[in-house]
Amino acid sequence: MAQHREQRPPQDRGRQRLTARDWTDAALAAIGDGGLASVAVEPLAKRLGTTKGSFYWHFPNREALVEAALTRWEEINTEHVIEQVETESDPRRRLRSLFKAVPAAVAGDPVEVTLLASASHPQVAAVLQRVTERRVDFLTQIFTDLGFSPDEAQRRGLLAYTTHLGHIQLIHAVPRMLPATTDDQRLYLNTMLHVLLHQD
């Protein structure tokens, strides 16, 4: 009886073996470059310097790769950002840190704007629903920690999130409309936080 040998993903001689994460990251980059239509196995294989066989070792089909890429984006642009700022115990500083961290994270990354433009796609719609609820809930908790009533905290969390969406749209569409200097950016952030935190 022949000995069992561990199966390994196919690779071209001399090339580093690719992982599912390599394919996921390449798909995410492709979404940023040209939208969901850019997630195609053969072009991605060329980008990675490998063959389609490597893809099919890790994923059964294109839809599975798209799902993995969207989940990866959710982790990077939502969960990791929240993890970074929620260590701040003071809710005012937490809110300020969030609004400083997010624009910096999305400035060079067009994926979020691309996904918003593809919101009717079922897979994209599902991840946008999860991400939106997670982000608004996190913001709502900050306003709750600041002493606002549950209803008011939810309203302000939603307002803060719509402010975020408008900001990232401008970053990628009309960046010259945003404050350019460090001082202007600081004043803009101060004004935004003042509006969000103002109480009669």
Q: What is the pLDDT of residue 7?
A: 46
Q: What is the pLDDT of residue 13?
A: 38
Residue 183 belongs to some domain of the structure: yes
- Which CATH number is 182's domain given? 1.10.357
Residue 10 belongs to some domain of the structure: no
Give the relative orientation of helices 62-74 and 20-34 as an angle to the nearest 10 degrees. 80
Residue 2 belongs to some domain of the structure: no
| Averaged pLDDT, groups of 10, the chain, 200 residues long | 43 65 96 94 94 93 97 94 94 94 79 93 97 98 97 98 92 90 93 93
Residue 118 belongs to some domain of the structure: yes
Residue 123 belongs to some domain of the structure: yes
Q: What is the pLDDT of residue 119?
A: 95
- Residue whose pair of structure tokens reads 């040209």 in the numeric block: 34
Residue 18 belongs to some domain of the structure: no
Q: Note down the domain range covering 126.
A: 69-197
Q: What is the pLDDT of residue 15?
A: 53
The tally of domains found in the chain comes to: 1
Closest to 195 (Cα-Cα) out of 149, 153, 159: 159
Q: What is the pLDDT of residue 187?
A: 95
Residue 146 belongs to some domain of the structure: yes
DSSP string, 80-130: HHHHHHTT--SHHHHHHHHHHHHHHHHTT-THHHHHHHTTTSHHHHHHHHH
Residue 189 belongs to some domain of the structure: yes
- Residue whose pair of structure tokens reads 């500083």 in the numeric block: 93
